[in-house]
Amino acid sequence: MPVPTGGGRRKPSAAVLGLVPFFAYTSVFLVLPTVSVVVGAFTDSAGRFTLGNLSAALQEPYLTALLTSLKLSLVTAVLGVLLGALLANAVVTSPRAVLLRHVVSSASGVFAHLGGVPLAFMFIASIGSIGLVTRALQAIGLDLYATGFSLFSFAGIVVVYVYFQVPLMVLVITPALEGLRPQWAEAAHNLGATRPQYWRYVAGPVLLPALLGSLLLLFANSFAAYATAAALTNGGVPLLPIEIGSLLSGNVIAGQENLGKALGLEMIVIVAALMGGYTLLQRRASRWLS
Amino acid sequence: MGAYFLVPVAAALEFALRGPNGTHSLAAFRDIAAQPELVPMLTVSLRIALGTLLITVALMVPTVVWVHLRLPRLRPLVEALSLLPLVVPVVVLVVGVLTAFADAPNLIKGTPAILALEYVALAMPFSYRALDAGVSAVRLPTLVEAARSLGANWPTVLLRVVVPNIRTAIVGSALLTTALVLGEFTMASLMLFDTFPTWMVRVGQQQAGVAVGLSVLVLLTSWALLLALSIAAGRPRGATSLFRRSS
């Protein structure tokens, strides 16, 4: 009988021991805090089971915060998907520009991951009331702030969020665009298809799951974000993460100590549903684009 | 399309360099260097980053290697756990951390050590992915068998065979982790710790120019490091290609 390669025939129970550090670490620092949020959401201040926290979480002012957060996420996810796909496509189809790809992918990584606070300040410098872009627009007779726009309002947050949504879109959609084989376009062309027909009947359907999946991912990304809005508006625009933050900072009404956890559970449920959908769509997308 | 990234960076530079009466000078960068809290705050964040990095490498490299070698069946479970931070928003995780560790010894919850410990978890989606991709790209079982049959013990295999082969992945995950620590505001501010990002926001409320200048420096530095790594990792490999799958 041949000796099994890879030494993989030890008792599985012994091999699992090698993963004990990882499981222990994630249990203590990820799972335990998450469970305490979920349990807390169903517990009143005396430690008894209750649904009161959850029903309070779905009433004003938190209902408005939830709806504003959902609206913000939808708008920035749609914008992020459209602009990000265009940018990624421009980079992927540019011939032999290896350096350009390195520049765009590393810049996307920085913008998407470092994001938050530095981005907020860069936008104060760009389209804040005395920012460069604001002044440039004034110089050509366009007064941004006369239109009622403010960086510290809903519209302002949309602009800043789009700046971390687009790079994330570039990062997640580039592999899918690279998976589009040139032979498909050539085959379609040889069969007499026009360029729009190729996108409508060949590339579009193949890319659709990846695009929809990215939409869900971007939605979740913006829904969960706290730092940018907190640094930018100081809580001026009601968003769900901001409300949780201000409950943590001590604005708690007696008897509602666990309200923040109910809001937290609400966020977990929504983000988990989005990420579940994203995973399913990614799996569907990889059928053609691997 | 380049304008998309460049306009805010250029605007921020112009803003930071803006002097009184429409002049421009490097005074803002002198102001940055003159901030008494700059060095202490940067030191705090760099120490947190170092702690995060050490734990991440010590925990994740053996885990990913072990999963690939011995327990490929558990790979989906490990991956799912490492992706959990994407499902639990940071602001919610803070609520849980403050509850779960309310009775923990002060040494853990009262010092920035808790930030390093949690940042390891927050960085897992990136660190796991980067290391998993790095390990998938080399013929790990072959390498490990060769080393083992030559008499190497496990620590030697890990340090002198596996780590050198996935060093790009390790450096990549290290850079992303550092960027995360230097930019992380949510958890640090809500747990009332003073770190580089929270200090930046505080300074920005009085001296916007200083905060904008700092933002540009942080973004450009991280970008330059990532770009260098991306180019270094993307160059054709000679001798090592023997151990890389062609796919």
Q: pLDDT tens, B1-15?
A: 566 667 777 777 777
Number of domains in chain A: 1
For residue B217, the one-letter residue type is L
Residues 167-226 in B contacting A (C-alpha not used; CB under 8 Å): 176, 179-180, 182-186, 189-190, 197, 200-201, 204, 208, 211-212, 214-216, 218-219, 222-223, 226
Tens of pLDDT, residue by residue over A169-214, are: 888 888 788 878 888 888 888 998 888 888 888 888 888 888 888 8
Backbone angles phi, psi at B114, to 5 degrees: -65, -35
A53 domain residue, yes or no: no
Identify whether A42 is part of a domain: no
Q: Count of residues for chain B?
A: 247
A38 occurs within a structural domain: no
Give a yes or no: residue A201 inside a domain: yes
Give the A window 202-221 contacts with B, CB below 8 Å: 220
Instruction: Identify the residue whose tokens are 């250029």.
Output: B10
B109 vs A216, higher pLDDT: A216
Rounded to whole angstroms, how far apart are CA atoms A28 and B23?
Answer: 54
Q: What is the pLDDT of residues A57-105, one digit of tens each?
A: 787 888 888 888 899 999 999 999 999 888 888 887 777 667 777 777 7
Is the distance from CB of A268 to CB of A34 less than 8 angstroms?
yes
Q: Is the ipTM of this complex over 0.95?
A: no
Residue A1 counted as domain residue: no
Kindly state whether residue A27 falls inside one of the protein's structural domains. Answer: no
Domain housing A65: 60-285
Mutation for testing the B interface, residue in A16, A110, A132, A246 having most B CBs under 10 Å: A110
Q: For residue A21, tell me if it sits in a domain.
A: no
In CATH, what number is assigned to the domain containing residue A216?
1.10.3720.10
Among candidates B99, B120, B148 on the partner chain, residue whose Cβ is nearest the Cβ of A40 = B99
Q: What six digits make up the tokens of A124?
A: 């104060």
Of residues B6 and A54, which shows the higher confidence score?
A: A54
For B72, the closest chain A residue by CA position comes to A8
CB contact under 8 A, A114 and B179: yes
User: Would you identify the CATH topology of the domain B2-18+37-234?
Assistant: MetI-like fold (1.10.3720)
Phi, psi at residue B25, to the nearest 5°? -155, 175
Q: Closest CB to B92: pick one of A6, A133, A268.
A: A268
**Chain B touched by A24 (CB under 8 Å):** no
Chain B contacts in chain A segment 97-126 (CB below 8 A): 98-99, 102-103, 105-107, 109-111, 113-119, 121-126
Q: In sequence order, what are the beta bridge partners of A43?
A: A49
Query: Per-residue pLDDT for A9 more than 60?
Result: no
Q: Cβ of A5 under 8 Å from any chain B Cβ?
A: yes
Percent of chain B with pLDDT over 70: 86
Unique residue bearing structure tokens 């702690």: B51
In a domain, A91, yes or no: yes
Query: Which residue intervals of chain A are DSSP H helices?
Result: 12-16, 20-26, 32-41, 52-57, 62-93, 98-113, 116-127, 132-139, 154-178, 182-190, 195-198, 204-224, 227-233, 240-248, 259-285
Beta bridge partners of residue B244, listed in sequence order: B138
